[in-house]
Amino acid sequence: MKFIKTNPTNLFLFLITLSFFSCKNDTDSDKIKSEFEFAWENPTLEIKQRVSLLIDEMTLEEKCSQLLDICPPIERLGIPEYNWWNEALHGVARNGRATVFPQAIGFGATFDEDLVLKVGNAISDEARAKYNEAIKINNRSRYAGLTFWSPNVNIFRDPRWGRGQETYGEDPYLTSRIGVSFVKGLQGNNPKYIKAAACAKHYAVHSGPEEFRHEFDAIVNKKDLFETYLPAFKALVQEANVEGVMGAYNRTLGEPCCGSPYLLQEILRDKWGFDGYIVSDCGAVSDFHRFHKVTKTPEESAALALKSGTTINCGNVYSVLKRALNQKLITQELIDERLKESLLTRFKLGLFDPIGTNPYDAINPDVIDSEKHRKLAREVAQKSIVLLKNDNNVLPLKKDIRTAYVVGPNASNEEVLLGNYYGLTSSTQTILDGIVSKVSPGTSINYKSGVLPFRKNVNPIDWTTGEAGQSDVCIAVMGISALLEGEEGEAIASSDKGDRTSIKLPQNQIDFVKKLKKNSKNPVVLVLTGGSPIAIPELHDLVDAVLFVWYPGEEGGNAVADVLFGDVAPSGKLPITFPKSVDQLPPYVDYNMKGRTYKYMEKEPLYPFGFGLSYSKITYNNIEIDSNLLVTVEISNNGDIATEEVCQLYISSPLAGTSDALFDLKAFDRITLSPKETKKVTFQLNKNTFKQINKEGVPTLRKGEYTIYAGGALPSKRSLDLGASTPATTKLQF
């Protein structure tokens, strides 16, 4: 041992100083303990430090218990129960009173990022208000928390998928932009706390069939994986800092999505830098050994999920983590690592802080289904409604029309306002309600359903079509509801576990509309509800006007009437292609993009992606692109009605239609145009805008001539035939 000589005076001063700091630290520690029973409760400490302090206090059993979706209380540490499973797809869902916004597919139809940002903010305000009230009555049940498993940014690649209504459509760019806005609104912008935790689902390559989702292997090539299925998830991670990601039920490229090192580690965490929590879809980890057969026991399944990156198991397989540890399938260090990921989210939500510390604790229940939020729901519905046909300018209708007749199973049906994953409200406005409230008190308006939703009438007597045919206008409200399309077990009228083997309108409704038109000399306006494409080739040429209104939320009836009677001009655009029939589609189980969506579908659809008419005549002219890749285009409203227009910018690469997509949406902007007004719209592009994904999955700038289109719909012949404006076009050489 080596001794160091020192001056006695210096040694004395050193010992005095050491004694002082030792006493000071003891005093600070005592002070912390006097204010907080546990050091980790101190909100002035860094969150990561608090998480580590808490984990140090926990037993192995306690740690494992907090990796399930239902986290039991740890009373000795003062930790209350928490349930991770909460929903907010288009409003706080499955948890009582809340504003019911239009279904998510309607968000896509607005092409309006700013509007969706407001919606996300409104939803999280209501979520915080409801949570603040719930903990006062010790309601910590499922759906009453703040970790929301929304949004669904899967690509609606096939219109047969029952859950496509939950998505923003078939295009990865549109899905990315709407999804980023929704997440930013939901999570808020406080530098310390998140208002509510969003979760991007279902990662990845997931879009049916519902019947096989627990056992299916989605085989996809690298080009389609990185061009179509992953961009929205990447955008939510890197641009919106989404707090959570949910793994899908299915396998992708042979690996179960919740147990895939390739998806969860190599891509999500390593390449994209994701640092939030990963949750399994509910029951997905048990699918490993029950259906996918990639493991033999629950212990092996738990180990595979935990090692691959799944933080929270929605289900009960993680209840065997201790046994998996004893079998040396996992380590305690890995359990601690996953626990840190989950606790960080709960701390960022402020769930362990004294009430009043978090600014969101002050949000009160007055915001829940408030007048402000109902107005916002109405605006979203208005902007999502798509005008598909308007012969001879039948629409807008006059409010002082002499006689009107409303028919159809969905006219007075509240079910069609809701879609799936919805909240509850006492202020729903059906489409019939909206129409009746809009017309003059002197108008003779009548209503009969006339036809059952999905099957032939039992009673053959028809008292409807004759009467309706005598009116000045007949408004037929047809379509489908979430009873027919939806998730595996939710669509109780579906014979295919929520999916649709046929995308046509139910035959009894087709027959009824034909009879209605046959008996009427005056206009018939067809209003369709639904969350997915409905093929109506037999009716398009027959009726005078067609409106597609989705599942338009609690104010949907008022919004539909606003458009029908001209208080608001229609401005929604289709976020998904409407084929003429399933005969135009590849096999449902085929995840290759060839022949799918507007990008790769060569057959002529019924209604193209991006299509939607206006009450005015819109034209596009004088498109230019400068050396800095700034695109400028002039858009004119040549009509007499003020309107909003969604300008869409597409490109086609030199290999369009062979190695690359036919068209590729790269930008859009919603603008307001007064009558006879012209505006210049600009889009700042860059070289990355023009890069295409090659067969190795790598972005590549093709050499040759690119075509750039700016217009109000997909730049196709079918769009023009249906009445869309001619796009402005220019070229660019690389």
Rg of the chain taking only CA atoms, in angstroms: 29
DSSP secondary structure letters along 622-672? EEEE-TT-EEEEEEEE-SSS-EEEEEEEEEE-TTBTTTB-S-EEEEEEEEE
Pick from 483, 475, 491, 571: nearest CA to 524: 475
Q: Which of 41, 62, 112, 485 is catalytic?
A: 485
Q: How many CB atoms within 10 Å of residue 687?
A: 10
Residue 125: active-site member: no
Distances (CA, A) of 703 to 229, 651, 656, 709, 733: 25, 14, 12, 19, 8
Query: Is beta strand 473-479 parallel, antiparallel or unpaired with respect to 403-407?
Result: parallel
Cα atoms in the 13 Å half-sphere on the side-chain side of 596:
22
7 contact partners, CB below 8 Å, separation of at least 6: none
Query: Is beta strand 444-448 parallel, antiparallel or unpaired with respect to 524-529?
Result: unpaired
Task: Judge whether 301 and 285 are in contact, CB under 8 Å.
Answer: yes
Could you give the CA distance from residue 530 to residue 413 in angstroms, rounded to a whole number?
Answer: 13
Structure tokens at 464: 């409807």
Q: In the beta sheet, which residues pair with residue 475? A: 406, 525
Could you give the CA distance from residue 210 to residue 560 in angstroms, rounded to a whole number?
Answer: 31
Could you give the CA distance from residue 730 to residue 308 in angstroms, rounded to a whole number?
Answer: 47
Could you give the CA distance from residue 724 to residue 141 in angstroms, rounded to a whole number?
Answer: 50
Cβ-count burial of 294 within 10 angstroms (0-12 exposed, 13-18 middle, 19+ buried)? Answer: middle
188 contact partners, CB below 8 Å, separation of at least 6: 121, 124, 194, 195, 196, 360
Q: In the beta sheet, which residues pair with residue 311? A: none
Query: Is beta strand 217-218 parallel, antiparallel or unpaired with respect to 82-83?
Result: unpaired
Region of residue 307 (left: phi > 0; alpha: psi -120 to 50; beta: else): alpha
Q: Is the peptide bond before 204 cis (omega within 30 degrees of 0)?
A: yes
Q: Reduce the DSSP state of residue 581 to 3 states and report it.
A: coil
Distances (CA, A) of 217 to 120, 205, 206, 207, 589: 33, 10, 10, 12, 9
Distances (CA, A) of 314 to 84, 141, 261: 8, 14, 19
Residues 454, 456, 462, 466: is their CA dihedral positive or negative? positive
Phi, psi of 290 (to 5 degrees): -80, -40
Task: Judge whether 671 and 633 are in contact, CB under 8 Å.
Answer: no
**In residues, how long is the chain?**
734
Structure tokens at 673: 């145009």
Could you give the CA distance from residue 404 to residue 560 in angstroms, rounded to a whole number?
Answer: 16
CB neighbour burial string for 462-478, b if at least 16 within 10 angstroms, e if fewer: bebbebbbebebbbbbb
Q: Reduce the DSSP state of residue 29 to 3 states and report it.
A: helix
Q: How far is CA 473 from the centre of its chain?
A: 36
Q: Which of 69, 158, 281, 341 is catalytic?
A: 281
Distances (CA, A) of 444 to 88, 336, 404: 41, 70, 6
Residue 281: active-site member: yes
Helix ranges (DSSP H) in 317-456: 321-326, 332-348, 371-384, 415-418, 431-438
Positions marked active-site:
281, 485
